[in-house]
């Protein structure tokens, strides 16, 4: 009898614990105009920052794309100062480009890229990217 009571208490405890925890659901945003983006940020040994941007659109869906990038240098623990920015515009279904900027000094740099790819349905895919590198 003691064994069944212990099992009952354990079961009740598990049910209580499970009722207070919420399930974690991971959902990936579905893009309507693009199938893939590829972005790389790299700083060479000579201080040239290189940003590679690439998107693959869905044939017949893409009407325009704007890719905005910025490179910022860390100036304090949580503060960044913009050192370069660039915007690419395209109406192609697929697009690839490289942007280069020579950095003035050594430090930690952050690259932000935002893809805004519009389609025939009127919906715009917004796809962000962020990475840091040290020179």
CATH of the domain at 67: 2.60.40.10
Task: Provide the domain count of the chain.
Answer: 1
Which residues make beta-bridge pairs with 13?
Answer: none
**Contact (Cβ atoms closer than 8 angstroms) between residue 128 and residue 110:** no
Name the residue range of residue 84's domain: 34-134
Q: Is residue 1 part of a domain?
A: no
Tokens of 134: 């040290």
Q: pLDDT truncated to tens, each residue of the chain (135 aa)?
A: 566 666 666 656 555 554 554 444 334 457 889 999 999 999 999 999 999 999 999 999 999 999 999 999 999 988 999 999 999 999 999 999 999 999 999 999 999 999 999 999 999 999 999 999 999
**What is the pTM assigned to this prediction?**
0.76
Q: Is residue 70 part of a domain?
A: yes
Q: Is residue 74 part of a domain?
A: yes
Q: Is residue 28 part of a domain?
A: no
Per-residue pLDDT at 27: 40
Which is nearest to 129 in space by CA: 48, 55, 30?
55
């Amino acid at each position: 009898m003691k064994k069944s009571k212990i099992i009952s208490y354990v079961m009740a405890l598990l049910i209580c614990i499970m009722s207070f925890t919420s399930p974690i659901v991971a959902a990936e945003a579905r893009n309507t105009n693009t199938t893939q983006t590829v972005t790389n940020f790299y700083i060479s040994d000579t201080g040239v920052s290189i940003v590679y941007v690439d998107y693959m659109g869905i044939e017949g869906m893409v009407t325009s794309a704007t890719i905005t990038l910025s490179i910022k240098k860390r100036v304090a623990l949580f503060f960044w100062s913009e050192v370069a920015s660039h915007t690419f515009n395209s109406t192609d279904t697929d697009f690839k480009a490289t942007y280069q900027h020579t950095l003035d000094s050594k430090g930690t740099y952050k690259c932000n890229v935002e893809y805004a790819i519009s389609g025939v349905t009127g919906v715009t895919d917004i796809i962000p990217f962020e990475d840091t590198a040290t020179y």
